[in-house]
Homo-oligomer: A and B are copies of this chain.
């Protein structure tokens, strides 16, 4: 396909903060955005056009796709049928395959393992018997996770001992699941890989991610890992992106287990979209993850991922955002608020990226 010239329209499925930041990045390049979402959201205020419609209304999705030059998405739980309906009319990037793989933890782990890339030990759980058997094989503690629709720690049950086994599946309403063995890791990191339509790839520096209550709390660059580990992490993420025929930004979350561990890096999960752990790129890089995603899906040359500063991104969750005046007064920080009305507990309301003079590479 050809390169989309300035003035073209990017269709975005999903109207949350990621769609909002994608739309702002597109505008910087003279590209318009049309948002399609099942509810009005933060992205609507910054897009040239917005449509509220059900993702299951395939006729409406088709009309939306007919009016844009390429379709992308800001969340991985876009129904595959929705993406396929759009794809029948106009290119969808990243493609449907990335959705199929990322929407199902079992499929995802099998896909990555088949590439010869380490994942946490896992087993398919569809009955009490398979759970008991997997618990015996993988050992406890372990985590029971629904195959679909889990995020930010939802749809997960931690099994500390065999006494929890009997109730665990009912806690996830008997949904198809996997049991995941515990991995002894030092820190969590993520790789943000950008892949262009010609297969060209570039990588942002690897952030060190910390979580609180199952939600990303901070992402810091540079992560305290060796250049060798970083190169290895990039190679793994790049291999996954290539195997998916991916176009855009792919986030690959990994456990870093230490330089001397048998497997220094183990894949946790992938997100086929721009990612919270890459928000610092807006403030610390010439071209942000959002702009590079837009560049990739529009067929443009990828932008420089080099960073000019060290950075610590901190999420503003729920009531955290009430401190906005104090945060706005901080020196050398980029404050980002998503325009959401109600600061409900656990809701991502914004983030702040604190910059420092660059310390390395």
Residues of A within 8 A of B (CB): 3, 5-7, 20, 23-24, 27-32, 44-48, 283, 286-287, 295, 300-301, 303-304, 306, 308-309, 321, 324-325, 328-329, 331-341, 350, 355, 357
Contact = CB atoms under 8 A, between A and B. Distances in A.
A341 B8 CA distance: 11
A286 B282 CA distance: 10
23 contacts: A6-B324, A7-B341, A24-B24, A24-B27, A24-B28, A24-B46, A27-B46, A27-B339, A28-B335, A28-B337, A30-B337, A30-B340, A32-B339, A46-B47, A283-B286, A286-B332, A300-B328, A301-B328, A304-B332, A304-B333, A306-B331, A308-B309, A308-B355
A45 B286 CA distance: 23
A55 to B, nearest CB: 24
A92 B273 CA distance: 41
Nearest to A25: B24
A303 B328 contact: yes
So how many copies of this chain end up in the complex? 2
Given A6-B324, A46-B24, A286-B283, A29 B337 contact: yes
B27 A45 contact: yes
A300 B325 contact: yes
Given A295-B328, A301-B325, A328-B301, A45 B45 contact: no
A350 B286 contact: no
Most chain-B CB neighbours within 10 Å: which of A301, A328, A332, A334?
A328
A10 B284 CA distance: 27
Contacts of A48: 44-46
A357 B6 CA distance: 29
A7 B339 contact: yes
Nearest to A302: B329
B28 A336 contact: yes
* Leading 3 A-B pairs by shortest Cβ distance: A30-B337, A301-B329, A45-B48
A300 B337 CA distance: 14
B286 A29 contact: no
Contacts of A341: 7
Contacts of A338: 30
Given A339-B6, A339-B32, A331 B355 contact: no
A177 B3 CA distance: 49
A307 B42 CA distance: 29
Contact of A286 (B287, B324, B334): B334
A180 to B, nearest CB: 37
